[in-house]
């Protein structure tokens, strides 16, 4: 599904990603870990096509198609969903209206008509119940005054509504209390299927107890320095990143 080949990317002439290779197949969950500033959010942004990052070498392919010339909206329409570490606030636009617009835009891009209102309501009800989201929450302005946990929960709601092919969750666990963490993780697990894939960026092994990854990758200084199964997350928790850094020096 996603194939990243020797990806190099920079921002303001500073090299951040220095040769990333990663393949994510349908049905897989990949976790990306690594110290602050190692390039995790940058990698997510580059996959999503954010324009402030310049790809200087290598490629990102989705289903065999090079995404180089696709704008972020096009990538979203192709089924890439990204939750942001720091989501934006949109005053005056409710959670529900934002979702309606997003869904209908994605349908339009695929040549479909707007989703009928009753169908939309049904979908909203179904997904908000699944994620235990309060009705009142849905009429609030997007992210305005949301607590950290509410923002994260809202992101998972967006993901549940859009049913993306590839979801990239950047530090969805930061600031979540234990109950919210479980709800978010359950949501992700319920949305998992053999046709979609998830990349979870996290600092903590805790989230990975709930969203069990098939693969764990450690990013350090813009490169994946170690990949393994879920046991790698346990080792990291125990030994810290120095262990990897020392191993990575050849």
Question: Any alpha helices (H) in the chain, and if so which ranges?
Answer: 40-48, 72-77, 95-109, 117-130, 135-138, 148-162, 178-191, 205-210, 231-239, 241-248
Contact by Cβ (8 Å): 244, 237: no
Distance of closest approach, residue 220 Cβ to Mg ion, in angstroms: 14
Report, in Å, the least distance between residue 200 CB and ligand ATP: 13
* Binding flag, residue 41, Mg ion (CB under 5 A): yes
Residues forming contacts to ligand ATP in the complex (CB under 6 A) are 11-12, 14, 16, 34, 36-42, 52, 85
Instruction: For 66, list phi and psi in degrees, rounded to 5.
Output: -70, 125
* Contacts (Cβ under 8 Å, ≥6 apart) of 29: 192, 197, 198, 199, 200, 211, 212, 213, 214, 215
Decide whether 150 or 170 has the Cβ nearer to ligand ATP.
170
Rounded to the nearest whole angstrom, what is the least distance from the CB of residue 224 to ligand ATP in the complex?
Answer: 12
Residue 12 binds which entry of Mg ion, ligand ATP, none, CB below 5-8 Å type-dependent: ligand ATP
Site string for Mg ion, 75-104 (x = CB under 5 A): ----------x-------------------
Q: Which does 113 bind (CB under 5 to 8 A by kind): Mg ion, ligand ATP, none?
A: none
Shortest distance in whole angstroms from residue 36 CB to ligand ATP: 3
Q: If we measure between CA atoms, which residue out of 65, 48, 46, 66 comes closest to residue 56?
A: 46
For the CB of residue 171, give the shortest distance to ligand ATP in the complex, in Å: 6
Looking at beta carbons, which residue is closest to Mg ion? 41
Please choose which of Mg ion, ligand ATP, none residue 36 contacts, taking the beta carbon within 5 to 8 angstroms, the exact cut-off set by kind.
ligand ATP
Q: Which does 196 bind (CB under 5 to 8 A by kind): Mg ion, ligand ATP, none?
A: none
Where residue 143 falls (left for φ over 0; alpha for ψ -120 to 50; beta otherwise) is left
Reduced to 3 states (helix: H, G, I; strand: E, B; else coil), residue 138 is helix
**238: helix, strand or coil:** helix
DSSP character at residue 112: P
Residue 93 C-beta: closest distance to ligand ATP, Å = 25
Residues that bind Mg ion (CB under 5 A): 40-41, 85
């Amino acid at each position: 599904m996603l194939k990243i080949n020797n990806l190099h990317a920079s921002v303001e002439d500073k090299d951040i990603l220095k040769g990333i290779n990663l393949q994510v197949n349908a049905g897989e969950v990949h976790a990306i870990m690594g110290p602050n500033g190692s390039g995790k959010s940058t990698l997510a942004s580059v996959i999503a096509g954010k324009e402030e990052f310049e790809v200087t070498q290598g490629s990102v392919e989705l289903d065999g198609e090079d995404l180089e010339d696709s704008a972020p909206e096009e990538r979203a329409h192709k089924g890439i969903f990204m939750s942001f570490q720091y989501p934006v606030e949109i005053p005056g636009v409710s959670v529900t209206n934002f979702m309606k617009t997003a869904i209908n835009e994605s349908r339009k891009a695929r040549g479909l008509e707007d989703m009928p209102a009753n169908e939309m309501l049904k979908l909203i009800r179904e997904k908000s119940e699944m994620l235990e989201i309060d009705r009142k929450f849905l009429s609030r302005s997007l992210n305005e005054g949301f607590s950290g946990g509410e923002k994260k929960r809202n992101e998972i709601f967006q993901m549940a509504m859009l049913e993306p092919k590839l979801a990239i969750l950047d530090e969805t666990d930061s600031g979540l209390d234990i109950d919210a963490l479980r709800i978010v993780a359950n949501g992700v697990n319920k949305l998992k299927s053999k046709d979609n894939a998830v990349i979870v960026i996290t600092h903590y092994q805790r989230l990975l107890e709930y969203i069990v990854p098939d693969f764990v990758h450690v990013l350090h200084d813009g490169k994946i320095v170690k990949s393994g199964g879920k046991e790698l997350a346990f080792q990291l928790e125990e030994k810290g990143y120095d262990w990897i850094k020392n191993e990575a020096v050849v």
